[in-house]
Amino acid sequence: MTPLRQRFIEDMQLRGLAPTTQRSYIHYAAEFAKYYGTSPEHLDLEAIRQYELYLLHERKMSPESINTFVSAVQFLYLVTLEMPWGKECFPRVRVATKLPIVLSPDEVELFFRHVGCLKHRAALMLCYGAGLRISEAVKIRIGDIDSKRMLIRVEEGKGRKDRYVMLSPRLLAVLRACHRMSPCRTPAPKDYLFGSWREGRPMTCGALSVACRYAAKNSGIPKRITAHTLRHSFATHLLEGGTDTRVIQVLLGHSRIDTTARYTRVSAHVIAGTPSPLDALGRTSKQEPKKPRK
């Protein structure tokens, strides 16, 4: 390992970047150096620009992937190499604004009926019933379930932030059934609720994604369904039920309210319930006071 790579890793660790983010940044920085056949410390902003164009036009990479590369080299040059450049020197590709896919309540019920494995169904129900990300759902521990207060503690979610989410009676019944099927007779509070075949490790996100994909296919629902689709549906159905956006923001673990506000764009009840100004035209003219006669 080169000294630059070692310092790059240490800087990311010191700033608390998630392990997945660290692996992603290392990958993109290594590919960047491999493309030019030299260390990044010998390259300049023009090299970054040309490589970004290469990723866009020749590699045909998505804007999200290219922007991840930009974040990686921005951290490398501004933090590790301490270059006197500003963030404006690292242009990003515009990402198209896409509305999240949302299932109807009936589609959610149909989907869950086609999840064959109880452990997979319980984990996916966490994504819909509590709004958890797939990475958060698989890492829930037995001690995180507070049945007395009907809460679930999400420890170190995205951004390493803890939060509490609701625990519905129906979800609790499913989790208890899943817990009773555990091969361990005396599970400890620190044990993962959805354990892997590897002792002391949780079920992988990949395994749950595969189960979700099979259930979506067998259900016959034409929409593209992932575990994150269930999280989107959770937020949208809460909004349609009258839950305040600020509460939804806390439940989802969003840092910014505008991230949560995008669900107002896919909420059918909110959109359909908003009166059009067209309907007010005739009403306004009828309510105008009559002019007195001279």
Domain ranges of the chain: 3-89, 105-272
| Distance in angstroms (rounded) separating the CA atoms of residues 246 and 191 | 32
Which of 5, 141, 158, 163 is an active site residue?
A: 158
Active site (annotated) includes residue 133: yes
Which of 133, 139, 232, 237 is an active site residue?
A: 133
The pLDDT of residue 284 is above 60 = no
Mean pLDDT, residues 41-65 = 95
Active site (annotated) includes residue 232: no
Residue 205: in which H helix or E strand, if any? helix 205-219
Question: How far from each other are the two terminal CA atoms of the chain, in whole angstroms?
Answer: 96
Superfamily per CATH, domain 105-272: Intergrase catalytic core (1.10.443.10)
| Distance in angstroms (rounded) separating the CA atoms of residues 6 and 14 | 12
Q: Given this model, what pLDDT does residue 210 score? A: 95
Which residue's entry shows tokens 């951004």?
159
Provide the 8-state DSSP code for 278.
Answer: T
Least confident among 38-42, 203-207, 256-260: 256-260
Least confident among 19-33, 140-154, 185-199: 185-199
Which of 120, 121, 139, 231 is an active site residue?
A: 231
Q: Of 125, 227, 232, 100, whose CA–CA distance to 175 is shortest?
A: 125
Q: Given this model, what pLDDT does residue 179 score? A: 82
Q: Given this model, what pLDDT does residue 268 score? A: 67
More confident: 240 or 41: 41
Q: Environment class of residue 189 by beta-carbon count within 10 Å: exposed (0-12), middle (13-18) or buried (19+)?
A: exposed
20 confidence band (pLDDT: 50, 70, 90): confident
Mean confidence (pLDDT) of the chain: 87
| Distance in angstroms (rounded) separating the CA atoms of residues 228 and 132 | 8
Active site (annotated) includes residue 283: no
Q: Given this model, what pLDDT does residue 183 score? A: 64
Share of the chain above pLDDT 90, in %: 59
The pLDDT of residue 290 is above 70 = no
Q: What is the pLDDT of residues 226-277, one digit of tens each?
A: 999 999 999 989 888 888 888 888 888 888 887 787 777 767 666 666 676 7
Active site (annotated) includes residue 228: yes
Which residue's entry shows tokens 């491999």?
34
Active site (annotated) includes residue 153: no
- CATH architecture of the domain with residue range 3-89: Orthogonal Bundle (1.10)
| Distance in angstroms (rounded) separating the CA atoms of residues 203 and 51 | 37
Instruction: Output 153-156 pairs: Cβ under 8 A, ≥24 positions apart.
Output: 154/253
